Chains A and B, each alone.
Chain A
Amino acid sequence: MSHTGEILISRKACAGCMRCVLACSFFTSTQRAFNPSRAHIKVTPDHEGRFEVRLGDDCTSCGICVNYCEFGALKQAGEADVA
């Protein structure tokens, strides 16, 4: 998979599981730690019961978060849709 495209977010598909956050911090931090404050993606509850998903300014679009999302909320630009 090419990892050069920006990360695209489908907010309504987000289930709030934070697998993207945990994966991001684990794989991109030198500490190999699960730690939302080290992640470059943030998932927080909105006012209704769904979620806001935001990428940090320092996100490099490596695509790890896309790999760990099982809800189709994240996609990498340029990635072919799964048939």
Chain B
Amino acid sequence: MHKPGAYAGRILKVDLTSGSISTMPLSEGLIKGFIGGSGINARLAFEYIKPGTPPLSPDNVLILGAGPLVGTLTPGAARTNMTSKSPVSGFIASSGTSHMGNLKFAGYDHLIVTGKASSPVYLEIGDEVRIRDAGHIWGKDTWESAEAVWAELSRDYAVATIGPAGENLVRDASVVTNKYSSFSKTGMGAVMGSKNLKAIAAFGTRDVKVADPKRFIELTNRMAQEVMKAPPMPNRRHYGSLMALGAFIDGKARGSIGYKNSQEWAGKDIMKSFGLNFFDDIQEEHGDISCMACPVGCKHFARLKKPHDVTLPISCAMAPAVTFGGACALRGWPAILKSAEHCNRLGMDHNSAGALVSMSIELYQKGIIDKKDTGGLELDWQAEVVYDLLQKIAYRKGFGNILADGLVEAPAKIAKGAGYYALHYKGIGCVVGDPRPVFSSWISTVVTNVIGHSFSVISHVGKSREALERTMTRAGMPSEEMAAILDHPGGYDIPRLKKWSEDYSFTIESLGQCVRYLYDSFGIDFGIDTWAKVYTAATGIETSGPDLLKAASRGWDMRKAFNLREGASRKDDTVPQRFLNEPLKVEEELHPPVKKEEVDQLVTAYYKARGWDADTGALSPSRLAELTSIK
């Protein structure tokens, strides 16, 4: 294969124990096998992270990858992915963000970090690669850290940094990039902290060139025009992820936000208090902020009106709304955004930190724990309680030290039976996605390797047959498969649809493209054939929609193989106990608990759709051999 366009063609390897820095080529095998970004990361994780490795040991490996389209003018091609072994679950850790595309300008597609530095350091990845002392930055929050690194290097750098939570090995610690985007879930911040790695800064002077510039610009210009003309555009830009709120207030997803730790439905009045008009009313100044190359701008710069002491860059307003307004039952946008500021500065995932807080408040309110357990704290659904607990978790102080061990480990240390109140999927906090009101689509969260991909099927389930046929055609689905999904007795065949949604969205993700706001939320679907054309114009590699989908399927299965090797089994593909035992009243409708047998049926059907063993979810030996033969 000629040197492909768009790819940098190199993997950077840094060992923090020895200080060695080296590069290796990005192989044709990995490119053709797994596309790039998340897909290749999955393969590298399986290769480099030995089974049974403790996630916070120096032997764990941190992998950062940028898809081939990152660094070009493809609208929305800003996604980079971190992959590792998660200290939250012990399974694969995967998290994406949109501000580390500078890795490509430094001349790398992937970064592999091994070992542990003897004292705090940060990585400067530019035309030169250096391991720099970070002793003077250690202890700073994520915003202060970004400023400190910029002051030392330059503001051209993309800076991904941990805060106090990562330094203190809080399981749900995140990595915040340029103050905006986070590698949020699965504990990447703790993995970095365990390596004494405070930050990764990237910028360089390398070219990103495409194979067929004329064709590439023609295709991507057309894509950008389509995005700008899309009817949802002005609102999607201004409100970003909040555009989904309507469905949770009185739409199809009503009741799915977990109010007071999913004990009850918040009620329309409370839900409306999160409304878009209130979001606007409290802001003195608002900015639409974008990821690299994206014309949408769905992130926010928000300066609140006095007396609220909040000015913050924020990536996703929906996350704190459902976490702090929903699970933690705080009222009003100022408290929701202040909670978000705490999490962002401390470097913690909103959903999981919020789920830990809401679990704790419920335990206290029910008398399962008391002030002796909480170190004197009285827990209630109040903003000051939430802020205090977030701080205590990040600094591992008092009761927070227990919560810092995450939703899998902490409950057993709190009280007998506390696990019932820890709502999570494979360790990631469940604050949205209650399956009682909307069973069939949210159930996808159960089986997903890592939460975050569940939305890929949810956005389809409510569509009309005609709309879904259009979507499936663009996803490259053969007509016989479409018929099987659409004509399934009792409604669409969700598990089979999920398989296709995963492969399609994982293709887009592995290319380095934003899935959420172009694919999921806009109603714009360029289609797999367009992505194949863009990929060929960028790289010079002839491909097709089916070939890209096969590569994405390999990446998806690689993650599953990683989890299976770490002991994952069918029992991990399950629903929090609360949803199996308690009904949920939403307005006048009483939604019964989810039936375990229905979950089991869907899990089995999903395993079959993916070609895994129908009982265990195991990959066949030939499939595993196929995946691991690709180097």
Contacts and interface: CB of A to CB of B under 8 A. Distances in A.
B73 A35 contact: no
Contact of A70 (B208, B213, B224): B224
Contact of A45 (B105, B155, B213, B217): B155
B73 A19 contact: yes
B311 A49 contact: yes
Interface string A15-38: 111110011001000011111111
Contacts of B204: 37
B301 A50 contact: yes
A37 to B, nearest CB: 4
A22 B293 contact: yes
B105 A71 contact: no
Contacts of A50: 287, 289, 301
Contacts of B293: 17-19, 22
Interface in B100-126: 105
Interface string B300-316: 01000000000111000
B178 A45 contact: yes
A68 B297 CA distance: 14
Interface centre among A16, A18, A33, A42 (most CB of B within 10 A): A16
Contacts of A45: 146, 150, 155, 178-179
Nearest to B158: A45
B207 A31 contact: yes
Interface residues of A, number: 28
A48 interface: yes
A44 B217 CA distance: 25
B178 A22 contact: no
Contact of B289 (A16, A23, A31, A34): A16
A69 B312 CA distance: 24
B287 A36 contact: no
Contacts of B287: 12, 15, 49-50
Contact of A34 (B73, B288, B311): B73
Interface centre among A17, A32, A37, A38 (most CB of B within 10 A): A17
Interface string B312-336: 1100000000000000000000000
Contact of B209 (A31, A36, A37): A31
B232 to A, nearest CB: 15
A69 to B, nearest CB: 9
A44 B157 CA distance: 9
Given A15-B287, A35-B206, A45-B178, A22 B72 contact: yes
B56 interface: no
B73 A71 contact: no
Contacts of A37: 105, 204-205
Interface in A33-61: 33-38, 42, 44-45, 47-50, 52
B245 interface: no
B213 A32 contact: yes
B155 A44 contact: yes
A34 B209 contact: yes
Contact of A35 (B105, B210, B297): B105
Interface in B200-222: 203-210, 213, 217
A16 B98 CA distance: 12
Contacts of A49: 179-180, 287, 289, 301, 311-313
A23 B293 CA distance: 10
Interface in B145-175: 146-147, 150, 154-156
Contacts of B312: 49
B301 A71 contact: no
Interface string B46-75: 000000000000000000000000011100
B294 interface: yes
B42 interface: no
Contacts of B146: 45
B71 A34 contact: yes
Nearest to A70: B295
Contact of A33 (B150, B178, B209, B288): B209
A56 B150 CA distance: 20
Contact of B311 (A16, A36, A48, A70): A48
Interface string B354-380: 000000000000000000000000000
Nearest to A33: B207
B496 to A, nearest CB: 37
A65 to B, nearest CB: 12
A77 to B, nearest CB: 23
A39 B429 CA distance: 43
B24 interface: no
A50 B206 CA distance: 26
A67 B179 CA distance: 28
A18 B292 contact: yes
A42 to B, nearest CB: 8
A35 B297 CA distance: 21
A35 B208 contact: yes
A30 B627 CA distance: 41
B257 interface: no
B41 interface: no
A30 B152 CA distance: 32
Interface centre among A18, A31, A34 (most CB of B within 10 A): A34
Contacts of A71: 288, 290, 295, 297
B179 A34 contact: no
A82 to B, nearest CB: 13
B3 to A, nearest CB: 14
Nearest to B209: A33
Nearest to A36: B105
Contact of B295 (A19, A35, A47): A19
Contacts of A70: 224, 228, 295, 297
Given A37-B204, A49-B180, A70-B224, 9 more contacts: A17-B290, A17-B293, A17-B295, A19-B295, A22-B293, A26-B217, A36-B156, A37-B205, A71-B297
22 contacts: A15-B287, A15-B289, A17-B293, A19-B293, A19-B295, A22-B292, A33-B209, A34-B208, A35-B205, A42-B156, A45-B146, A45-B155, A45-B179, A47-B147, A49-B179, A49-B180, A49-B311, A50-B289, A70-B224, A70-B228, A71-B290, A71-B295
Query: Shortest 4 CB-CB distances between A and B: which pairs?
Result: A49-B313, A33-B207, A17-B290, A70-B295
